[in-house]
Amino acid sequence: MAEYTKIVELQDEVQAQRFDLMLTEHGIPHIMRSYHDAAFDGVFQALKGWGHVEAPEPYREEVMDLFAELNRPAPYADNDDDDKPDEPSAGTEFG
């Protein structure tokens, strides 16, 4: 079995779940390590983040690329076409 190393820190459970799904879809072997400790009722997660991802070293670059893709902001959808002139509403007359 390959040796797993820590590659990226995860901020919250939603990010961890989404990233776990991405890595699985790409066939990348990985382990999701949570920082939750029942004895301290999640104090470490509040201070350090949700946890981290471990994967074999040969997958490091691919994991980092996917993590960057996961955190890339969604493109802004501007539905207002500012380049087009406003069309007159029905019943408006121009003289």
What the chain holds in terms of domains, given with CATH numbers, is 4-71 (3.30.70)
Q: Three-state SS across 15-75?
A: HHHHHHHHHHHCCCCCEEEECCCHHHCCHHHHHHCCEEEEEEHHHHHHHHHHHHHHHCCCC
- In tens, the pLDDT along 13-71 reads 899 999 999 999 999 999 999 887 666 655 555 566 789 999 999 999 999 999 999 98
Residue-level pLDDT at 77:
66
> pTM for the whole thing?
0.68
Banded pLDDT at 74 (limits 50, 70, 90): confident
Tokens 């919250």 correspond to 12
